[in-house]
Amino acid sequence: MTYQTIQVETNGKVGVIRLNRPQALNALNSELAGEVGEAIAAFEADAGIGCIVLTGSEKAFAAGADIKEMAGKDYMDAFFGNFAADWNAAARARKPVIAAVAGFALGGGCELAMQCDMIIAADNAKFGQPEIKLGIIPGIGGTQRLTRAIGKAKAMDMILTGRMMDATEAERSGLVARVVPLADLMNEAMKTANTIASMSLPSVMLAKEAVNRAFETTLAEGVLFESRVFHSLFATADQKEGMTAFVEKRAAKFENK
Ligand code: HXC
């Protein structure tokens, strides 16, 4: 598959998607969003892939939705065209997706990173929802996911002022899982992705689904869901292999079944 706005490669069991519109700091236009969706769908369909890493350049993960593409739209274009409604492939993915963020992650770029399951940030990362300065608001989940990630006080601060948050504040606030030196970003992301991909894929996918339930339901329902999934995993060969390997003091060899 040839893409125009992203680069895609496979490294062992890890699929890597690199946003690649350097002339626009990886701003998200319809073409890029479509290609990210296609690349994620291809990795989802590939039984050899256990984890996906989504990244950008050292200067920008993505500086937001493409303002030049959006500027001329009127309400009817946005409403009837259902603008950006399908820019959520990362959030819909069943396999885990890690965002490896260096530089600017602004507007739709910050939202795209938050659609992923975990953000690993370089120490030069800057997060923000500056849409308010353009007379709009976040449009692909920012008001909801940022609030869940960092709480109302800081989400209001970010979304109403449009200010940026550096990597240290982002980690302190719970937006990112880890901060590493810029030079180590891809190593750290790939190491983490390989660790995840070495586990039993059904248990990884179900663990992700169970964590995500925490944002959708009550504690009692979420714990019930967890319990049902927990019991179901005893039907897998990988549960037998994982526990037998522990008892036999050897590394488990999972076969995703
Ligand atoms: C289109 C963009 C862009 C964007 C940068 N560029 N961000 N083009 N859309 N979001 C382009 C610039 O126009 C410029 O192109 C080139 O990238 C380099 O950018 P500079 O501004 O020259 O770089 P710098 O001075 O380093 O400033 C970096 C920056 C700034 C602080 C990130 O570019 C910036 O503020 N960008 C806009 C950020 C933003 O408002 N994002 C939210 C968008 S709304 P030229 O051709 O001039 O060299 C949004 C809504 C999402 O995301 C809703 C869901 C769809």
152 pLDDT band, cuts 50/70/90, is very high
- Over the chain, what is the mean pLDDT? 98
At 160-174, the pLDDT tens digits run 999 999 999 999 999
Q: Which residues pair with 166 in a beta bridge?
A: 126
1 pLDDT band, cuts 50/70/90, is confident
Taking residues 96-117, what's their average pLDDT?
A: 98
Distance CA 211, CA 42 (A): 24
Dihedral of the CA atoms 107, 109, 113, 119 (nearest 10)?
-90
The CATH number of domain 200-248, selected from 1.10.3720.10, 3.40.50.1820, 1.10.12.10, 1.10.1380.10: 1.10.12.10
Extract the tokens encoding 77: 């274009």
- CA of residue 52 to ligand 1 center, whole Å: 26
| Percent of the chain predicted with pLDDT > 70 | 100
Sign of the C-alpha dihedral computed for residues 160, 56, 203 and 246 taken in this order: negative
Taking residues 104-110, what's their average pLDDT?
A: 98
C-alpha distance from residue 2 to each of 39, 55, 98 (Å): 10, 18, 23
Q: Which residues contact 174 (CB under 8 A, 6 or more apart)?
A: 149, 150, 151
pLDDT for the residue numbered 53: 98
Taking residues 121-148, what's their average pLDDT?
A: 98
125 pLDDT band, cuts 50/70/90, is very high
Taking residues 229-254, what's their average pLDDT?
A: 98
What residue spans define the domains of the chain?
Answer: 6-197, 200-248
Count of positions (residues) in the chain: 257
Ligand 1, pocket residues at CB < 6 Å: 24-25, 27, 63-68, 84, 87, 104, 106-108, 130-131, 134, 138-140
Distance CA 159, CA 153 (A): 10
At 26-58, the pLDDT tens digits run 999 999 999 999 999 999 999 999 999 999 999
pLDDT for the residue numbered 186: 98
Catalytic annotation, residues: 65, 108, 111, 131
pLDDT for the residue numbered 19: 98
| Percent of the chain predicted with pLDDT > 90 | 100
Q: Using most ligand atoms within 8 A of CB, pick from 5, 20, 25 the residue to mutate for ligand 1.
A: 25
Complete edge-to-edge strand list for the sheet that includes strand 51-55: 6-11, 14-19, 51-55, 97-101, 118-122, 178-180
CATH class of the 6-197 domain in this structure? alpha beta
